[in-house]
Amino acid sequence: CVVSVTNVPPPHSTIRPGYPVPVNTNNPGVRKAARFGVYRYNNSSNDLFLFKESHIKKAMVQIVRGLKYMLHVEIKRTVCEKRDHSSLDSCHFQKKKNLQWMLRCYFEVWITPWRHKVHIPVVHCH
């Protein structure tokens, strides 16, 4: 079953409200949620450079008044400096050995599509 931000699973779906279920890490909703987590991380970090998701290791989704994604994501430092306000899509990962940096993160991203609302209560990176 594919869960996206825009459609609610059909009634015969195996997904039930309240229970987190695994979801494909290539799912567009998962990728979008991971990007929201990265934005939140970048906004709170003191790093000179922006980070971007490099690998989504594991994804779960839970239906609770919207979609709550629980993601394990690896993020890496890019060549884009924060002050440039670059689009992350055009930011490449650092090539210089001394500037390369990878963090393992756990994000919880709660998306309520009909209210156009995104809430990111948990961002843990190390």
20-125 folds as: Nuclear Transport Factor 2; Chain: A, (3.10.450)
Domain map (residue ranges) of the chain: 20-125
Q: What is the pLDDT of residues 27-84, one digit of tens each?
A: 999 999 999 999 999 999 999 999 999 999 999 999 988 999 999 999 999 999 999 9
User: Cα torsion for 69, 73, 79, 81, to the nearest 10°?
Assistant: 50
CB 51 within 8 A of CB 45: yes
Structure confidence at residue 124 as a pLDDT band (50, 70, 90): very high
Structure confidence at residue 12 as a pLDDT band (50, 70, 90): very low
Name the pTM for this structure.
0.84
Q: What angle do CA 21, 23, 29 make, to 5 degrees?
A: 120
CB 75 within 8 A of CB 38: yes
Task: Provide the percentage of residues in the chain whose pLDDT is more than 70.
Answer: 87
Using CA atoms, how far apart are residues 109 and 32, in angstroms rounded to an integer?
A: 10
